[in-house]
Structure 1
Amino acid sequence: MNQDDVKFRFELIEVTKIERGYLISVEVQIRWLKEIVYLGVVDVEMNDIGIFPSPAHLAAASPYKGIRGKLGAEMKRYIKIQKKFIPELAE
């Protein structure tokens, strides 16, 4: 699976306030050559230090290390854009 042929789509599902930040559930769709190869939820923790996608959920999304790395980076980028709205969305 070539990394250049992989596309990601994210949708924010749920935001929960936790002790030291927020737990964000994101629906992830991974497409390879216009075919959906993964559709599921990946949890992301956000606190004052940074944005941390769940390694276990990333591993479940793809068996390929390169794709997991790219997915983690793209998720961080997606959440960073939403960062100022996260407190408003928390339950």
Structure 2
Amino acid sequence: MFEEFKFSFDIHKVEKLENDRYLIYVQTRILDHEKIDYFEGVIRVELNAIGIYPKPGDIAKAVSPKNLRGKLGSELKRYIKPQKRFLYELA
């Protein structure tokens, strides 16, 4: 069921935190199978040397079905991973 959702992401802002951590604001848009906006807003993602961590509170506010929350988190990680080395320069 949740395979029918389309995700669109865009980096909105990057902030440098202490201890080589970064907070990335990702403009997120989710379309359902009828191409109608299901969600549009900003979700924060924390980035450090170990990994990429979408903020669970932001995801929970964005979507309510549990399966879609997991899918959104994994899609955010998949979007950020190839850009990781370039994001440091944006902070």
Matched, 1:31 2:25: no
Letter in 1 for 2:73: G
Q: Deviations over 1:12-64 (max 9, x none)?
A: 00000001310000010011021111001000000011100000000011100
1: CA distance, partners of 2:82 / 2:76 = 10
Secondary structure at 1:48 match in 2: coil
Partner residue, 1:19: 18
Matched, 1:55 2:56: yes
Letter in 1 for 2:44: D
2: CA distance, partners of 1:24 / 1:61 = 16
2: CA distance, partners of 1:30 / 1:56 = 17
**TM-score (structure 1 length as normaliser):** 0.95
1: CA distance, partners of 2:2 / 2:38 = 13
2: CA distance, partners of 1:37 / 1:10 = 14
Residue segments in structure 1 that go unaligned for 5+ positions in a row: none
Partner residue, 2:79: 78
Tell me which stretches of 4 or more aligned residues in structure 1 moved more than 4 Å.
Answer: none
Matched, 1:10 2:15: no
Secondary structure at 1:63 match in 2: coil
Partner residue, 1:45: 46
Residue segments in structure 2 that go unaligned for 5+ positions in a row: none
Give percent identity, aligned residues only.
47
